Amino acid sequence: MKPKDLKPPFSWKNREVLLQHPLLYVPGCIDDYSSFEFPHWDELFGSKKPVHIEYCSGNGDWIAQKALQNPDINWVAVEKRFDRCRKIWSKLANFQLKNLFIVCGEAVTVTKHYFANESIDAIYVNFPDPWPKTKHAKNRLIAKPFLTQVKRILQDRGDLTLVTDDEVYRDQMILEVLKAQKLKPLYPEPFHQQTPLDYGNSFFDNLWREKGKSIATMVFKNEHE
């Protein structure tokens, strides 16, 4: 299957929340998100397994590898750009990944409205857009609205893993997460370490490594008590 084989399910004028397995479409700027009822993960996947989510999945290189290598885990890719979701879908179809599901939508909106409390075992955010200009900083994902949802959906002792090549954003991520109660750093101060080569490949991982940039990983454990 090629990415172009996945056609847009609706026009902008007729946009709606729509589940067409293995994709959930959650368009922006609609009046009512509550009218759609998202199924339980066990029902969605047809199996009772731990659920791991990757936000900012991009072209899906990393999560497709993980789903292929870890069939005992159900994987969810969240990506807001439809052109990138097409590429994830193509990998899902070509590798016949029954343990991978795709959400096309904005991370905070999708999570707030459709992901149940304490339903996720692990969360990964790989190379989120650093929005380097000060005037654009409000668009950064790793901030209070997103972290509030992360704490809600992660199970007790579940992990939040953040990966970035941007040193400024790395430090800001750490400050934001430390401000969020109950998310405790796994690594000692300065709370990050160099990302190992076996973490998994992605477009940005390969790009920045080729340019000689250092890539940092931060892991935080959700503690409900």
| Active site residues per annotation | 129
The whole-angstrom separation of Cα 5 and Cα 91 is 12
| DSSP, residue by residue, 29-73 | S-S-STTS-PPPHHHHHTS---EEEEES-TTSHHHHHHHHH-TTS
Distance CA 187, CA 60 (A): 27
Enumerate residues 6+ apart whose C-beta is below 8 A from 150.
111, 123, 160, 180, 183, 222
The two three-digit tokens of residue 184, written as one number: 């405790």
Q: What phi and psi values does residue 7 have, to the nearest 5 degrees?
A: -95, 145
Euclidean distance between CA atoms 194 and 213, whole angstroms: 11
Report helix, strand or coil for 110.
Answer: helix
Per the CB < 8 A criterion, the answer to whether 30 and 16 are in contact is yes
